[in-house]
Amino acid sequence: MKRLLLIAMAMALLLALASTLPAAAHEYGQASATMSCTDNTSTMTRTVVVTVTWKGIGVDRMDAQAWETIPPGDLLGAGSITFPLAQKGTESMTFSFSDTAPFGNVQWQLYSGAAIAAELAGILYASNFPGC
């Protein structure tokens, strides 16, 4: 009887812990991003500034790529920056590309250390940002 009671208590504890995991995972690593664009008509280039704010995860590198609208979507421009490892922060990066191709979106990624896979990532559609 004691053994059955211990097993039941252990199962109840495991269920209680398992039910808290989704809430904890939801708080892990959050980020938001925005961008702004400037066209230089004399040089026919578009300059894009991507700003990402994050919390809840340590990152020290940010990459971003601008893609053409028309499938298959050629890469228009890209950039990468590194910075001191931080659990929260805001970083901005700037890159330019020809403004003659239809601009579709910017994909951004945040990395920790030498990680190959991004810790956090997102996409910004040019049509949602005036001037882009």
Residue 109: phi and psi, rounded to 5, are -140, 145
- Quick check: 112 pLDDT over 60? yes
pTM over 0.85: no
Confidence class of residue 102 from pLDDT cuts 50, 70 and 90?
Answer: confident
Q: Domain 28-128, CATH 2.60.40.10 — does that match? A: yes
- Quick check: 28 pLDDT over 80? no
Name the β-bridge partners of 120: 110
Selected residue with higher pLDDT from 112 and 28: 112
Cβ-contact 35, 48 below 8 angstroms: yes
Q: Rounded distance, CA 68 to CA 74, Å?
A: 5
Please tell me the predicted confidence (pLDDT) of residue 27: 54
β 120-125/103-111 pair status: antiparallel
3-state secondary structure of 96: strand
Q: pLDDT tens, 1-27?
A: 444 333 333 343 333 333 333 333 345
Q: pLDDT tens, 32-73?
A: 999 999 999 899 999 999 999 999 999 999 999 999 987 778
Please tell me the predicted confidence (pLDDT) of residue 26: 42
| Rounded average pLDDT over 77-82 | 94
Please tell me the predicted confidence (pLDDT) of residue 54: 95
